[in-house]
Amino acid sequence: MNLKSQLSDYTEAEFMEVLNELFNGVSATKENAEEYVISLIDHITEVTEHPEKSDLLCYPPEGREDSAAGVMKEIKEWRAKNGKPGFKE
């Protein structure tokens, strides 16, 4: 998977692939799966700039859908509300 340096470098579909990779589970056959999951969490936390950091992914508050789609919705809403650029077209 090709990870990009900024959220605005991703299309929404590309970033959903990153989220799905995390939420659908990394293949048990993937070498260093635990390290890979940690690197995905770190990457998502960094590029989204969301103040919940890894809690956005691992400990969603009550009422927020605990899924890739739920995280995507929260990221888009938070970035728009805070004047951050969205996904590339």
Residue 83 has pLDDT above 70, yes or no: yes
Say which amino acid occupies 83.
G
- Among the listed residues 49, 6, 50, 41, the one whose alpha carbon sits nearest the alpha carbon of residue 21: 41
Q: DSSP letter at 2?
A: -
pLDDT at 31: 77
Spatial distance between the Cα atoms of 31 and 10, rounded to a whole number of angstroms? 26
- The CB density around residue 10, as the number of other CB atoms within 10 Å, is 20
Hey, where are the domains in the chain? 7-81
CATH number of 7-81: 1.10.1200.20
Share of the chain above pLDDT 90, in %: 81
pLDDT at 28: 59
Residue 80 has pLDDT above 90, yes or no: yes
Task: Dump pLDDT digits (tens) for 45-78.
Answer: 999 999 999 999 999 999 999 999 999 999 999 9
**Cβ contacts of 89 within 8 Å, gap of 6 or more:** 11
